[in-house]
Amino acid sequence: MSLYPMVRLSILALIATVAVAQESSVNPGINASYLSEDMIVADWVERLEREGREVADNRDEIVAQIGIEPGIDIADIGTGTGLFLPTLTAAVGPKGKVFAVDIIEKFLAHVDTHIERRGWKNVETVLCTERSTELAPNSIDLAFICNVYHHFEYPNDTLASLHQALRPGGRIVLIDFKRIPGTSADWILNHMRAGQEVFEAEITAVGFAKTREITDLLSDNYFVIFKKTP
What's the mean pLDDT in 25-50? 94
What's the mean pLDDT in 69-81? 98
Phi then psi dihedrals of residue 132, to 5 deg: -145, 145
What's the mean pLDDT in 13-18? 47
**28 in a structural domain:** no
**137 in a structural domain:** yes
> In this structure, which long-range contacts are made by residues 219-222, counting pairs with CB atoms below 8 Å and at least 24 apart in sequence?
219/54, 220/54, 220/177, 220/178, 221/54, 221/55, 221/147, 221/175, 221/176, 221/177, 221/178, 222/174, 222/175, 222/176, 222/178, 222/196
Q: What is the pLDDT of residue 49?
A: 96
**72 in a structural domain:** yes
DSSP states of 32-69 as a string? HHHHSTT--HHHHHHHHS-TT-HHHHTHHHHHHHH-PP
Q: Is the confidence at residue 6, as pLDDT, over 50?
A: no
**209 in a structural domain:** yes
Q: Domain of 109?
A: 38-228
Question: How confident is residue 22, by pLDDT bands cut at 50, 70 and 90?
Answer: low
pTM surpassing 0.75? yes
What's the mean pLDDT in 114-143? 97
**29 in a structural domain:** no
Assign residue 146 the CATH number of its domain. Answer: 3.40.50.150
Question: How confident is residue 17, by pLDDT bands cut at 50, 70 and 90?
Answer: very low
**3 in a structural domain:** no
Number of domains in the chain: 1
